[in-house]
Amino acid sequence: MTQDADRGRREMVAFNGYLPAAAGVVAGLLLLLAITAQRNLRHEEVTRADTSGSPARQSVVSLPPVKDTPKRVGASSDTLVLLPPNPAATEVTRRIEAGLPLTDSAPKAEPAAVEQPERKRFVETADSRPRIAVVMDDMGYDRLNSAKAVNLPAAVTLSYLPHAPDVQRQVRVARLRGHPVMLHLPMEAPSHKGRPGTNVLALKDSERILRERLTRLLGSFDGYIGVNNHMGSRFTRDPRRMKIVLSELRRRGLFFVDTRTSNRSMGGETARQTRVAYAVRDVFIDHDPEPEKIRARLAETERVAQRNGSAIAIAHPRTMTMELLAPWVRSLANRGFNLVPVTKLLKRPPPNKLAQLQLAE
C-alpha cells in the first residue's frame, strides 16, 4: 500500500512539471494566431485605402505614365518606381554598320520615320536626271578640309589614306554622317624613281611581298566598301600586278574605282576581266588648283553627265576646292542633276557560265 502511494505521488509531481511547458506552447500558438490576424487586418485596410484613393495609404510613387513594364528599385520593396524604356542600343549599332547617319531629332517610335529612307532610295533609283558621283581623295591628312568634306551631302564618297592620323575615328565619323567610305590605296608612280617605300605597292616587289604589303594596307582601318588607287600611274599599267590586287579585292567583296592617273591604266579592264565591280574616273576637278580651272572642271563634269548620262568626278580636300565644290554640290539638284554615291555608277560584270548554270539549277 505504501509503495502504491509513493508511485502515485511521483506521477502527480511529473504531471505538474509538464503543465508549465504545455501552457507555454499553447500561449505561443495563441500569440502567433493573434499576430497573423492583425497583419491580415492591416493588409485589408491598406487595400481599401488604395482602392478609395486615400493619399495616406498609397505606397506607389506617381511618375509620368510609360509603356514599359514597371520595375522595383531601391532598398524598400514597398515603393514602385516606373522607369522609362531603355534606349535601343542595337539600333545605333545597326545604323553604324549600315553607314547611316544618326538622326537624333527624328522620332524613332513612329513607323513613318523608319520607312522614309526606303521611299527616298526608291525615288533616287527612278530618277532619270543625269547622275554625278563625287569622290573626295586623299582624305585624312588635312584634318580641317577633311572635316569640311564630311559636312558635304551624304552621297559624296570619301576615300581615306591608310596611314592618315587617327584614321579609324575619322572614318567612323564619316560613316555616321552617311558617307560611303573607300580606302585610297597607294601605288607606285614614275615620280618614285623606283624607290616608292614600304607603304606603296611597287612593281619591283615579288608576288609574296606584294601580297603581304597589300594585306597590311587593306588592314589599316575598317568600315570601307571599296578601293581606289592613290597615284599609281606606273603600277596600274601592269596588268599582271593589277590582277593580284584585284583578285584580293574580289575575295574581300570590295569594288574598285580606277582613278586613272595614267591614260594607259589597266585598272578598269583588269577589274572587268577579274570580275570585280568597278568604275573609272571621268574628271579631275582640282588637278590644277587655280579657281578658274576648278570652275572649268565643274562645268566639264556637268557636260560629261549630260552627254553620257553619268559622270564620276574626283576632288581633294583643299581649301580652294572646298570653297568652290561645296556650293556646287548642293546646287546640283536645282540645276537638273542627281548627286549619287559612286556605288550607283559601278559596272558589275555578269556571273560566269558556271555560276549561271548553278543559278539555273
Q: How far apart are CA 260 and CA 268, in angstroms?
A: 9
Q: How far apart are CA 327 and CA 338, in angstroms?
A: 15
- With CA atoms as reference, report the closest residue to 211 among 234, 184, 242, 245: 245
Could you give the C-alpha distances from 114 to 43, 174, 178, in angstroms and in order? 49, 21, 16
Residues across the chain: 361
Name the residue with higher pLDDT: 352 or 177.
Answer: 177
Q: How far apart are CA 212 and CA 198, in angstroms?
A: 11
For residue 68, the 8-state DSSP code is: S
In a domain, 249, yes or no: yes
Which of 56-60, 164-168, 309-313, 333-337 is least confident? 56-60
Domain that holds residue 302: 132-358
Q: What band does 20 get if pLDDT is binned at 50, 70 and 90? A: low
Whether the pLDDT of residue 194 is over 60: the answer is yes
Q: What is the pLDDT of residue 2?
A: 56
In a domain, 24, yes or no: no
pLDDT digits (tens, 9 = 90+) for 24-71: 666 666 766 766 666 665 555 544 544 444 444 444 334 444 444 444
In a domain, 334, yes or no: yes
Q: What is the pLDDT of residue 352?
A: 64
Residue 193 belongs to what H/E stretch?
Answer: none
Outline where DSSP puts E strands in 255-309.
255-258, 278-280, 283-284
Q: What is the pLDDT of residue 43?
A: 54
In a domain, 107, yes or no: no
CB atoms under 10 Å from CB of 227, counted, come to 24
- With CA atoms as reference, report the closest residue to 136 among 329, 349, 310, 273: 329
In a domain, 312, yes or no: yes
Name the residue with higher pLDDT: 10 or 361.
Answer: 10
Name the residue with higher pLDDT: 319 or 34.
Answer: 319
In the numeric block, the cell 514602385 is attached to: 80
Number of domains comprising the chain? 1
- Whether residue 271 contacts residue 256, with contact meaning beta carbons closer than 8 Å, is answered with yes
For residue 169, the 8-state DSSP code is: H
In a domain, 48, yes or no: no
pLDDT average, residue stretch 298-316: 98
- With CA atoms as reference, report the closest residue to 41 among 53, 30, 31, 33: 33
For residue 285, the 8-state DSSP code is: T
Name the residue with higher pLDDT: 344 or 75.
Answer: 344
Q: What band does 349 get if pLDDT is binned at 50, 70 and 90? A: confident
pLDDT digits (tens, 9 = 90+) for 267-278: 999 999 999 999
In a domain, 141, yes or no: yes
- DSSP code per residue over 106-143: S-TT-HHHHHHHHHHHHHHHH--SPEEEEEEEEETSSH
Q: What is the pLDDT of residue 42?
A: 58
- Whether residue 186 contacts residue 214, with contact meaning beta carbons closer than 8 Å, is answered with no
**SS3 state of residue 186:** strand
Q: How far apart are CA 75 and CA 100, in angstroms?
A: 42
Which of 48-62, 75-89, 223-237 is least confident? 75-89
Q: What is the pLDDT of residue 90?
A: 40
Whether the pLDDT of residue 89 is over 70: the answer is no
- With CA atoms as reference, report the closest residue to 257 among 225, 228, 288: 228
Residue 163 belongs to what H/E stretch?
Answer: none
Q: What is the pLDDT of residue 105?
A: 39
Radius of gyration of the chain (CA): 38
Whether the pLDDT of residue 207 is over 80: the answer is yes
Q: What is the pLDDT of residue 40?
A: 61
Whether the pLDDT of residue 233 is over 50: the answer is yes
Quote the mean pLDDT of the chain.
78
Residue 200 burial class via C-beta count within 10 angstroms: exposed 0-12, middle 13-18, buried 19 and up: buried
In the numeric block, the cell 553604324 is attached to: 96
Distance of CA 234 to the CA centre of its chain: 36
CB atoms under 10 Å from CB of 201, counted, come to 25
- DSSP code per residue over 222-283: ----EEEEEE-TTGGG-HHHHHHHHHHHHHHT-EEEE--SSTT--HHHHHHHHT--EEE--E
Whether the pLDDT of residue 264 is over 70: the answer is yes
In a domain, 246, yes or no: yes
Supply φ then ψ for residue 242, to 5 degrees.
-65, -30
CB atoms under 10 Å from CB of 159, counted, come to 27
pLDDT average, residue stretch 324-331: 98
The enclosing domain of 186 has a CATH number of: 3.20.20.370
Whether the pLDDT of residue 128 is over 60: the answer is yes
- Whether residue 229 contacts residue 259, with contact meaning beta carbons closer than 8 Å, is answered with yes
